[in-house]
Amino acid sequence: MKQIKKITCIGAGYVGGPTMSVIAQKNPNVEVTVVDLNHARIAAWNDEDLDNLPVYEPGLDAVVGEARGRNLFFSTEVDRAIDEADMIFISVNTPTKTYGKGKGQAADLKFIELCARQIAAVAKNDKIVVEKSTLPVRTAEALKNILENTGNGVNFHILSNPEFLAEGTAVTDLHNPDRVLIGGEDAEAIEALVNVYAAWVPRERILTTNLWSSELSKLVANAFLAQRVSSINAISELCEVTGANVDEVARAIGQDSRIGGKFLKASVGFGGSCFQKDILNLVYIARTYNLHEVADYWEQVIIMNDHQKTRFAEKIIQTMYNTVNGKHIAFLGWAFKKDTNDTRESAAIYVADHLLDEEAQVVVYDPKVSAEQIYRDLDYLGTRSPEDNRRLVKVVDNAYEALDGAHAAAILTEWDEFKGYDWAKVKEGMKKPSFVFDGRKLLDRKELNRLGFAYYAIGE
């Protein structure tokens, strides 16, 4: 059985960086090199000051601090790292296509293909190639084709090893996964990867399947999770008109062990780089095989999510006497969930966009997201000019500053620190009536009402 000595990971992003850091931490005898084309990103991974890592994850600094320089390296020398590795993880981004066939739905595989071609061109001995990025089903086939037809006659074994970590809890998820999934055809290659994980994951939690089951399971896991959020969000709207409380309903149904209590938190809508993309992928695949009922069924999860974001923005406008023109609305939070600086597909972007259409003045505070990122997210939508985005949106690095003089506060991310604010003091600085729109059901309604806020929360 092959003992892996050198691992290379192409892509030093939210998935590749933390995953490889933990693999290196737990396998001190394996040399792990993470490469990326993005020089600034690699420089940040190599920064002496562990506060400057490009990905913010609780506990990641300690893991990187332990392994970096020992058997964990970050580099821009892609070719050399490919040449030296026994096992290569592909962990590059696979965004939804923004052009051509499958636009807005299919995954854009151009980065994956580039990686495959580069591996084929450089490899001089046999390699195990591991798909880490989320991919449409049967990508492994394409990968295999490229590798075999453009390579130097060496053998490639393809494995699928989807990552299930959630952002904000990446390090604990990696240290203690519910399961590790490895799909493949070659028993020896599978065993080699099993051994890497077995350094810290109990064997019974390492599942092996065929390639296609592994690829599909990743999409299905995310689709099921997202479906739960859309399901409870659908009920949140019903709660608002019937006088039921969505948290009480969630608790009542979650006690049924067949349903379970997790992932039933109503919110302004799910975000993140995976849920929407993976469902769109699932929908696209189903349509490709003419399974229209299957496609429509899953598409509804996204339709519901879009509706929830729009509904929240509309609620703000309606409640504020049908106009937010020139009104100062403080946004607490921009990240798609707490404990991450990731903003991809964050509900905050779409809620802001809706309010900016109505010429609101939005002032954003997020403990981890930079002003550059916030403007980039808004500019990327292409809804209005970059000048208009900068005219209408201000980003500050202090919540009290964001709230001072505001007509309303909107909570978009469930950062813990928002709960600890001196809301009595906030109230003094705000315009009257002082509105709070809680998209995360984070604050205490009784307390806010006692302080005199007009408080609106999803699903109540």
Binding site for ligand ADP (CB under 6 A): 10-16, 35-38, 41, 78, 91-93, 111, 114-115, 133, 273
Toward ligand ADP, which CB reaches closer, 278 or 414?
278
Annotated catalytic residue 131: no
Q: Tell which residue, 55, 70, 89, has the closest CA to residue 25.
A: 70
199: partner contacted, choices ligand ADP, ligand UDX, none (Cβ within 5-8 A by kind): none
Residue 257 CB, nearest distance to ligand UDX (Å)? 18
User: Does residue number 229 form part of the binding site for ligand UDX (CB under 6 A)?
Assistant: yes
Using Cβ positions, the residue closest to ligand UDX within the complex turns out to be 272
Tokens 């195990």, residue located: 128
Would you give the DSSP letter of residue 68?
A: B
**Cα–chain-centroid distance for residue 41?**
18
Toward ligand UDX, which CB reaches closer, 132 or 407?
132
Toward ligand ADP, which CB reaches closer, 43 or 187?
43
- Annotate 365-404 with DSSP letters as a single string: E-SS--HHHHHHHHHHHTSS-HHHHHHHEEE-S-HHHHHT
8 is written with which tokens?
A: 């290379």
47 to 106, contacts with ligand UDX by CB under 6 A? none
Q: Choose, from 31, 131, 163, 299, the residue flagged as catalytic.
A: 163
Annotated catalytic residue 274: yes
Q: Choose, from 97, 218, 309, 337, the residue flagged as catalytic.
A: 218
Q: Which of 31, 131, 163, 366 binds ligand UDX (CB under 6 A)?
A: 163
Residue 172 CB, nearest distance to ligand ADP (Å)? 18
| Inter-helix orientation angle 292-319/275-288, to 10° | 140
Q: Which of 144, 164, 195, 307 binds ligand UDX (CB under 6 A)?
A: 164
328: partner contacted, choices ligand ADP, ligand UDX, none (Cβ within 5-8 A by kind): none
Instruction: Return the SS3 of 36.
Output: coil
Toward ligand ADP, which CB reaches closer, 16 or 269?
16
**Cβ neighbours of residue 14 closer than 8 Å, sequence gap 6 or more:** 55, 167, 170, 273, 342
Q: Choose, from 57, 215, 274, 441, the residue flagged as catalytic.
A: 274
402 touches 364 (CB < 8 A) = yes
Toward ligand ADP, which CB reaches closer, 10 or 30?
10
Cis peptide preceding 433, ω within 30 of 0? yes
Instruction: Name the segment binding ligand UDX (CB under 6 A); options: 47-55, 109-117, 268-276, 316-324.
Output: 268-276
389 is written with which tokens?
A: 């985005």
Q: Which of 267, 276, 305, 343 binds ligand UDX (CB under 6 A)?
A: 267
Annotated catalytic residue 124: no
Toward ligand UDX, which CB reaches closer, 280 or 320?
280
| Inter-helix orientation angle 110-122/139-150, to 10° | 30
Q: For the chain, give the number of residues.
A: 460
105: partner contacted, choices ligand ADP, ligand UDX, none (Cβ within 5-8 A by kind): none
15: partner contacted, choices ligand UDX, ligand ADP, none (Cβ within 5-8 A by kind): ligand ADP
| Inter-helix orientation angle 246-254/211-242, to 10° | 130
Rounded to an integer, what distance in angstroms lies between the CA atom of residue 399 and that of residue 333? 9
Q: Which of 167, 247, 366, 438 binds ligand UDX (CB under 6 A)?
A: 167
CA distances 187 to 39, 141, 197, 275, Å, are 37, 17, 16, 31
User: Does residue number 344 form part of the binding site for ligand UDX (CB under 6 A)?
Assistant: no
Tokens 């077995």, residue located: 198
350 touches 412 (CB < 8 A) = no
Q: Which residues are catalytic?
A: 163, 218, 274
Residues of this chain that interact with ligand UDX (CB under 6 A) are 163-167, 222, 225, 229, 263-265, 267, 270-272, 274-275, 336-337
